[in-house]
Amino acid sequence: MFDLIGSMLLLAAPALPSNGSAPAPVTSPSPDKARSAVIGCGVAPDRVSVSYDEDMQEDVVWIASGNAPFAKTMLSCIAHASRRTSYYVYFREAAEWKRYSAIYATIANTGDVAEARAWLQEQNRPETARSIKRGRPLAGFTKAVEQFCGVQPGALLVAVDDRTITFTEGGLGHLTATGIEGAAATPAQYECVTYVMAASDLLSHDIFFGFIGSDPRKAPSQ
């Protein structure tokens, strides 16, 4: 389960701007509102809880095991509630989690693709953005995306194989007291790369883009 745009853009913002002022806080709904949104989909209140997860480093919503499986419409409603509130939702029941993950991935991907293409439209660059060409080496696509966004080809992205794209070692730079240093791309270039990758609809090509070794598609510790 993964929100490509939201998760990737979190990395683009330095911890502290160069002018020394604190960045504007991001306001998220309260845990109670996230819980209520899930309950609003028809889930029994006593099955829904919110707790802090050490692996995710954030509050997540948990749905306890029950007897009958959820209808697909309920799972879709929960996925939309998760997107709307920015709280991940997890199921204690493994089979239910598997069904929900597939539905969430489709909904999240559809939203990401639409948002990314809207961003490109705002930049007046939709027709020139790079896209995946079936049968072509994936490395050619990643380098074309970098070049399109003004990043030195091969400095930020790497195609591990024909189904996996990740970041080069050191490409994201390192965090210091004054922000991110040594990154291969500026925040604006990184934003461009994120949106172009999302606009390419990687899921439809069965391509994973993210961090290897800490796969955000898996549920956190139970």
* CA separation, residue 90 to residues 6, 12, 56, 186 (Å): 18, 27, 12, 34
In a domain, 102, yes or no: yes
In a domain, 216, yes or no: no
In a domain, 220, yes or no: no
pLDDT digits (tens, 9 = 90+) for 100-128: 999 999 999 999 999 999 999 998 887 67
Split into its structural domains, the chain has a count of: 1
In a domain, 214, yes or no: no
pLDDT value of residue 17: 39
Mean of the pLDDT values across residues 82-94?
Answer: 94
Instruction: Answer yes or no: are the C-beta atoms of 121 and 70 closer than 8 Å.
Output: no
The answer to whether residue 95 scores a pLDDT higher than 90 is yes
DSSP letter assigned to residue 28: -
**Rounded Cα–Cα distance for residues 104 and 203 (Å):** 12
In a domain, 121, yes or no: yes
**Other beta carbons within 10 Å of 168:** 13
Of the listed ranges 4-18, 97-111, 139-153, 200-214, the least confidently predicted one is 4-18
Q: Which residue has the higher pLDDT, 144 or 27?
A: 144
Q: For the whole model, what pTM was predicted?
A: 0.72
In a domain, 148, yes or no: yes
- What value does the mean pLDDT of the chain take? 84
Residues contacting 3, CB < 8 A, separation 6+: 83, 108, 112
Q: Where are the alpha helices (DSSP H) in the chain?
A: 4-9, 31-39, 72-85, 94-122, 138-148, 187-199
- 177 confidence band (pLDDT: 50, 70, 90): confident
> The tokens 């480093």 sit on which residue?
57
Residues linked to residue 89 through DSSP beta bridges, in sequence order? 61
Instruction: Answer yes or no: are the C-beta atoms of 58 and 52 closer than 8 Å.
Output: yes
In a domain, 219, yes or no: no
φ and ψ at residue 81, rounded to 5 degrees: -65, -40
Query: Domain limits at 38?
Result: 4-209
In a domain, 221, yes or no: no
- Which of 146, 127, 144 has the alpha carbon at shortest distance from 136? 144
pLDDT digits (tens, 9 = 90+) for 25-76: 446 789 999 999 999 999 999 999 999 998 878 999 999 998 889 999 999 9
